[in-house]
Structure 1
Amino acid sequence: MSLKVIEGRLTETQVGAGVERRAFGEFVSPRGELASYAFGWTTRSEQHVARLTVGIGAGNPGGASFHAIVFENEGSYACSLVDEPFERVPEGGPDLTALEARAHECLPFIWWVFDCVMERDRRARWMKHWLLGTTSIQTGEVFDRKEPILYVSHEADDGLWQLIGASDADPATGKLSHLHHAVEHDLTLLDVLDLEPGERAYRTGPDAPWTGEPS
């Protein structure tokens, strides 16, 4: 059996001037161990952190729900266990405080689940780019949403993301914007948020599949 991260539902709720997003999913280890998870973030929130719940062992001794915050840390992300529950998940049990979670024998497994989710759940990549404030440069037509995004590159030299539509790229019309804003208007970008520096992806139309290759 191979490791599986199975994306579930995504909810979006208007909260003041921002949007609260919560993504759910299931995890299956190569040995058949199960976990459920939920993570979420709120745009335009005063506290620029995300929230996380991982649950294991529903109905069994030792079953529990672990809760944490996720935040930017030196150009990457880090987690910290918290007392306040975030979400209920199918595999979860009683809500643990941070102190109880640190003492739980399954905590290393929980962190492994989280690392796998951050790597494989496409919505988690979206959340990560929100946490890091990843910058992109977009052609004027893409920025004004007059053209769909057909070309995405993650530059090797400066780490900048480029988003280009059908028109030839004109540096004079390029506009800077956070990458996570582009995803808000085009969820198909979830499929290319894992491009490594030096990689690019393109497609022939807004409904066509992405093709990736080195820049």
Structure 2
Amino acid sequence: MTADTQWPFADPPETAVFTIDRILDGEAPVLLVTHDDDDGAWQFLDGEHVFEEDARVVSLGEMAQFDPSLIELADLPLGGFAWRSGPAKPWTRGEGEPPAVLDSQGA
């Protein structure tokens, strides 16, 4: 995002969000995003099993800078999730709990 681009998310850039170390370390791309219905939390994951010790808290603004394609999900509603099969692939959206296995054809 550039300085003249308006922030597209309803939540401010400094909102704390969850991700995992292997994404921040560049070892895995963001392939699954959830916007939790119960508390409004955002999670940026790789679609693989997550252990509690893998979790990291960063700001929503940092995640948007880290992966600008996440801007496309700014309107993801509470209780929504989105996934893709690879970093350059389009996002597919769903509602409720994401299934245990996501594929490029849908949940």
TM-score of the two chains, using structure 2 as the length reference: 0.78
CA contact (8 A) 1:136 1:178 kept: yes
Partner residue in 1 for 2:4? 22
Write the letter of the residue equivalent to 1:169: V
Q: Trace 1:99-114 onto structure 2 (pairs within 5 A).
A: none
Partner residue in 2 for 1:149? 30
Higher helix share: 1
CA contact (8 A) 2:9 2:75 kept: no
Count of aligned pairs between the two proteins: 96
For residue 55 of structure 2, the aligned residue among 151, 170, 174 is 174
Partner of 1:176, secondary structure, is: strand
More contact order relative to length (CA 8 Å, sep ≥ 6)? 2
Partner of 2:50, secondary structure, is: coil
Write the letter of the residue equivalent to 1:129: P
Partner residue in 2 for 1:189? 70
Question: CA shift at 1:145, angstroms?
Answer: 2.7
Partner residue in 2 for 1:64? none
Per-residue CA deviations over 1:132-174 (Å, capped at 9, x if unaligned) read x222111121122321100000011111111111532222210
Q: Trace 1:120-159 onto structure 2 (pairs within 5 A).
A: 123-126=6-9, 129-130=12-13, 133-159=14-40
Higher strand share: 1
Runs in 1 of length 4+ with deviation above 6 angstroms? none
Q: Trace 1:29-178 onto structure 2 (pairs within 5 A).
A: 123-126=6-9, 129-130=12-13, 133-178=14-59
Per-residue CA deviations over 1:65-108 (Å, capped at 9, x if unaligned) read xxxxxxxxxxxxxxxxxxxxxxxxxxxxxxxxxxxxxxxxxxxx
Gaps of 5+ in 2: 97-107
Partner of 2:4, secondary structure, is: strand
CA contact (8 A) 1:202 1:212 kept: yes
For residue 200 of structure 1, the aligned residue among 78, 81, 86 is 81
TM-score of the two chains, using structure 1 as the length reference: 0.41
Question: CA shift at 1:129, angstroms?
Answer: 2.7
Instruction: State the structure with more CA Rg.
Output: 1
CA contact (8 A) 1:142 1:165 kept: yes
Gaps of 5+ in 1: 1-9, 12-20, 24-122
Aligned-pair RMSD on alpha carbons?
1.9
| Percent of pairs with identical residues | 26
Partner residue in 2 for 1:211? 92
Question: CA shift at 1:202, angstroms?
Answer: 0.3
